[in-house]
């Protein structure tokens, strides 16, 4: 069935990837494509620095969402009528676009999920069934709760052992300690590509090579990376890679699990229901081929299609220039914030992306965030779903400014001005 769908997509999808002409990186032009950035909050121009939590959506994605629900809404894969066939074609074209963006070998290796969290839980529940008591899983001390709790649950259920690779005060993984944790008992390493709290870019390619040397599989949490840096899953040689649509300028409620085909074939289904079956009787059920084996029930069709539209938008940009711009924003913000007495940057890794987390002596992050909000500045405050990391730094939380390629130095200047006013009111 999947091969038939792929054949239908040839004319629709064509050579769109090779035919695309990237436009020069122009922040002003890019910003004009994001209507949410043009609004006022409490009478102030919005400065949106909470991209680590979710990104804003370009007009092309908003238009695609509206178009689907206005004129193309139909269920997929099983319908013979025109609208169902059209929706199916667009949904599977999106899968192929994502496959090519990640440089996955086959589109069957792209599984649509609810998001990065759901993808990790899928692997924990499905690949976890292949593990045995005494096997070990390694994570790092900077992981999001979504890459901690599923493994804890699996360890309790299967009698596995969870190991935690430590970090230093700069927020960098201690590779010598990581090496010492690796052994023949290690069956999986699950690690974030980029820390959502620290901005640290982990040396995942090196980690993958070392894990494979002892026979372990590797899951990369790419929720904070794919929107900032180029990801090539075959070059990395990761076994699994996960991300969420809503952080990569697409809709909420949809995400992706990439997995190597041979590994996915070995794994049992995560959920049962429609579309993930080949044949059902009351005596037994045989399961569908990839990717449908892991996609039970009616999916988030609009989300899947419009996630493809978000990648179409990304393909039109010079992402190397975008990454350079984001790093410049982070450095510009850190250089200014470092001049404030009593302010501490949390996360000073040599290799990091556009996240600036900080604390101020004597002030709670929530209070700072509340006052900044009243001045039109949207930042994140709290533990950022990394409570063990907060415990390591002995802090209750941070103020986090996380930038996207549509942010500007002028916005940082407004943020600093609002920050100074907030300090005056709080001290």
191 and 224 Cβ atoms separated by less than 8 Å:
no
Catalytic residue, candidates 11, 155, 238, 385: 385
198-226 in b/e burial notation, b at 16+ Cβ within 10 A?
Answer: bbbbbbbeebbebbeeeebbbbbbbbbbb
306 has catalytic annotation: no
Question: Would you name the residues annotated as active-site residues?
Answer: 385
């Amino acid at each position: 069935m999947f091969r038939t769908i792929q054949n239908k997509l040839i004319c629709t999808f064509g050579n769109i990837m090779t035919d695309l002409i990237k436009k020069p990186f122009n922040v002003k032009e890019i910003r004009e494509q994001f209507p949410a950035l043009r609004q006022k909050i409490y009478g102030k121009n919005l400065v949106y620095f909470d991209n680590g939590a979710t990104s804003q959506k370009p007009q092309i994605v908003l238009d695609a969402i509206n178009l689907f629900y206005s004129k193309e809404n139909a269920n997929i894969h099983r319908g013979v009528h025109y609208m169902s066939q059209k929706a199916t074609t667009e949904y599977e074209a999106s899968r192929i676009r994502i496959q090519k963006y990640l440089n996955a070998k086959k589109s069957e290796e792209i599984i649509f999920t609810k998001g990065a969290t759901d993808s990790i839980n899928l692997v924990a529940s499905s690949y976890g069934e292949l593990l045995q008591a005494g096997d070990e899983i390694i994570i790092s001390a900077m992981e999001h709760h979504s890459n901690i709790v599923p493994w804890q649950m699996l360890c309790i259920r299967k009698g596995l052992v969870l190991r935690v690779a430590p970090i230093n005060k700069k927020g960098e993984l201690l590779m010598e300690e990581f090496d010492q944790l690796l052994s023949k008992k290690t069956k999986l390493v699950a690690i974030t590509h980029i820390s959502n709290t620290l901005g640290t870019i982990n040396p995942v390619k090196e980690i993958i090579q070392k894990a494979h040397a002892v026979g372990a599989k590797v899951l990369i949490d790419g929720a904070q990376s794919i929107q900032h840096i180029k990801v090539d899953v075959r070059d990395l040689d990761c076994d699994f890679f996960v991300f969420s649509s809503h952080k990569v300028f697409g809709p909420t409620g949809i995400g992706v699990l990439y997995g190597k085909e041979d590994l996915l074939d070995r794994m049992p289904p995560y959920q049962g229901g429609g579309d993930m079956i080949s044949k059902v009787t009351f005596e037994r059920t045989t399961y569908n081929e990839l990717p449908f084996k892991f996609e039970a029930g009616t999916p988030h069709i609009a989300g899947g299609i419009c996630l493809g539209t978000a990648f179409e938008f990304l393909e039109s940009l010079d992402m190397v220039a975008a990454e350079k711009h984001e790093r410049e924003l982070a450095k510009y913000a850190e250089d200014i914030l470092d001049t404030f007495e009593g302010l501490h940057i949390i996360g000073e890794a040599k290799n990091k992306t556009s996240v600036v987390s900080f604390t101020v002596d004597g002030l709670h992050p929530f209070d700072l965030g509340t006052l900044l909000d009243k001045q039109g500045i949207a930042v994140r405050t709290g533990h950022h779903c990394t409570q063990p990391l907060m415990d390591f730094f002995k802090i209750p939380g941070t103020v986090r400014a996380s930038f996207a390629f549509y942010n500007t130095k002028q916005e940082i200047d407004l943020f600093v001005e609002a920050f100074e006013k907030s300090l005056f009111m709080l001290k």
